[in-house]
Amino acid sequence: MKNLIFKQYDDSYFESCIRLIQITWNLHAGFKGIPDDKAVYAYYLKTCLNWNAHLDIIVDEADNVKGILFGSNEHPSLIRELSFMRTDRKINKWKNEHLKRGTFGELDAAKREFAKLTLNDKLGEEDAELFDSEINLFIVSPELKGKGLGRKLMDRYVHFCKTYGIATAFLWTDVDCDYSFYQKYGFKIHKTFNSAKQHHRDAEHQDGLVFFIVIDQV
């Protein structure tokens, strides 16, 4: 944990954030014939960055990103909301242009994968209006797990919530994630759902999880 620094995200860390997500999660498996899977992670990061008010990262002595926590304020001002909506349109335009260019590989396969991402967001955020904030991206580098950095990121996020009068927060994930961290921290299950992996199956065990926390109880 020596020489690790907490910072506010800025765009100079975009590429480093992509690398961290790439080594931690596999988001590109369903794409076919993709020339460079980095494009999938760039799109994912763009969507995670938008709509957020808390953009916290951890960097090492070489300025490489080793941890991320992005959280929203679900009740932004009208001006901020319009700005987020404009950015959403720009991100979709960027995605559609790159779909046509073949950046995401075979078109039909890429469209199916993006539809799954959209469906998961819809299912996971179905009750977003019940909460004041959403954790949109939370990740710690695999080699640093178990050293308390995730808890420190979460503590800083809770401080942000208390500072801005945010009373409740939520996040969604799936059973492949080590969600025991959330339970230990004080999150509780709001509901479960069938993610895009199982949405069209008669799945007995739902694999999507929505957690929530009451900030004043932390």
Across the chain, which has 218 residues, the per-10-residue mean pLDDT values are 89 98 94 97 97 97 97 94 96 98 98 94 95 97 93 98 97 91 97 78 76 96
Cα dihedral: 193, 194, 196, 201 (round 10): -160
* Site of tokens 């799936």: 174
- Report pLDDT for 164: 95
Is the overall model pTM greater than 0.85, yes or no? yes
Token digits of residue 202: 């008669």
- What pLDDT shows up at residue 47? 96
pLDDT mean across residues, the chain: 94
Instruction: Give the three-class secondary structure for 174.
Output: strand
Write down all domains in the chain, each with its CATH number in brackets: 5-217 (3.40.630.30)
Q: Which residue has the tokens 């019940």?
A: 130
Handedness of CA 29, 58, 69, 88 (dihedral sign): negative
Write out pLDDT tens, residues 168-202: 999 999 988 889 999 999 999 999 998 887 555 55
